[in-house]
Amino acid sequence: SILFVPHGWNTAVGLAADLQLVAAVPTARWVEYITPAPYIEDLVLGDPFALDDKGHLDIPIGPGLGLDWNPEGIERFSGMQLTPSDV
């Protein structure tokens, strides 16, 4: 089998997608990302990613990519006002 390691320099959304991909692919074990990575504490997330004491990230378990959105952060960076039904 071929070991698969997704990696990217992107946002918390991209990181969440990489984590979901690793959870679904049997030959994937790790996700590579740049550190320090300000996007892990992305201001568009209501519950930002945090490394545990072993340096691991939890895979979000909510619907879709599992992210908890911060409407104020989204408005700040996109100029779009979101309602609760949007997030």
pLDDT at 87 over 70: no
pLDDT computed for residue 1 by the predictor: 80
Burial class of residue 1, CB neighbours in 10 A (0-12, 13-18, 19+): exposed
pTM equals: 0.75
pLDDT tens digits, one per residue of 27-72: 998 888 776 666 556 677 888 888 899 988 889 888 989 988 888 8
Cα–Cα distance measured from residue 63 to residue 12, given in angstroms and rounded to the nearest whole number: 16
Let me know if residue 36 belongs to a domain.
yes
What is the model's pLDDT at position 37? 63
**What is the model's pLDDT at position 36?**
65
Residue 2 lies in a domain: no
Residue 27 sits in which domain range?
7-78
Per-residue pLDDT tens for 68-82?
Answer: 888 887 777 777 776
Looking at the domain assignment, is residue 84 inside a domain?
Answer: no
Number of structural domains the chain divides into:
1
